[in-house]
Amino acid sequence: MTISLVNECSLSKTAPSVFALLFFCLLVAPVQIAAAQEEDDKSDEYIEEITSYGRKSLLSFRVEMVEAEKSYYDLYNTLNDDDEFDVICKKASDNSARSRIARRVCKARFEWESMSDNDRDRLQDGYLPQVNWAAINRKKLMVLDKMEELANENPELREALFSLTRISQKFEEEKKTRCEGDILCRDKD
């Protein structure tokens, strides 16, 4: 009999704690979990924001300028009906600057073809060919006239030209300010 009393006593002692635990798990815990989820939802509404201020790098200005240049010339080439006057941009050394450093150079197709013909003749014949600079300059003026005509006719091309001009001027101003006449320039800040 003692054993059964002990078992009944132990059951009676543990039963309230088991019931309390069940009560807690079934009723109180879901309420607390719901409250915690509401707080998480509130914290999602208020996202921390960090704002940082700084200057654009010269490279950023340069990339922006090249993108504006590309969009302008792509639109011009689409509107232009003379393929000889299409403007092509590529990396090349600019002989007028007496430098072999490749830079982005934009020229009309006829100029690239003329340079290619001259280089081929020089390699084949071994002498410097005669270049008809007057004819090339005349065609350059014709390209500029065509650009002006198309810009006057097409507001989208005109806006692309204005955008390219603004961005190019801003780049040159920043470069002049930051480089202070140095040939090799890095952001000093």
In a domain, 114, yes or no: yes
How does DSSP assign 44-109, residue by residue?
A: HHS--------PPPHHHHHHHHHHHHHHHHHHHHHH---GGG-EEEEEEE-GGGT---EEEEEEEH
Other beta carbons within 10 Å of 134: 8
Cβ neighbours of 62 (radius 10 Å): 15
The answer to whether residue 78 is domain-embedded is: yes
Report how far Cα 40 is from the mean position of its chain's Cα atoms.
Answer: 36
Number of other CB atoms surrounding residue 77 within 10 Å: 14
pLDDT single digits (tens) 112-158: 888 776 666 555 666 666 777 788 899 999 999 999 999 999 999 99
CB 82 within 8 A of CB 163: no
Whether 113 is covered by a domain: the verdict is: yes
- Residues 154 and 162: their CA atoms lie apart, in Å, by 13
**Any domain includes 19:** no
- 32 found inside a domain: no
pTM of the complete model: 0.62
- Residue 137 and residue 113 in contact, taking contact as beta carbons nearer than 8 Å: no
In a domain, 43, yes or no: no
**Count of structural domains within the chain:** 1
**23 located within any domain:** no
Ramachandran sector of residue 34 (left: φ over 0; alpha: ψ -120 to 50; beta: rest): alpha
Domain encompassing residue 93: 58-179
What tokens were used for 186? 């890095």
How does pLDDT run across 51-106, given as a tens digit for each residue? Answer: 777 788 888 999 999 999 999 999 999 999 999 999 999 988 766 556 778 888 99
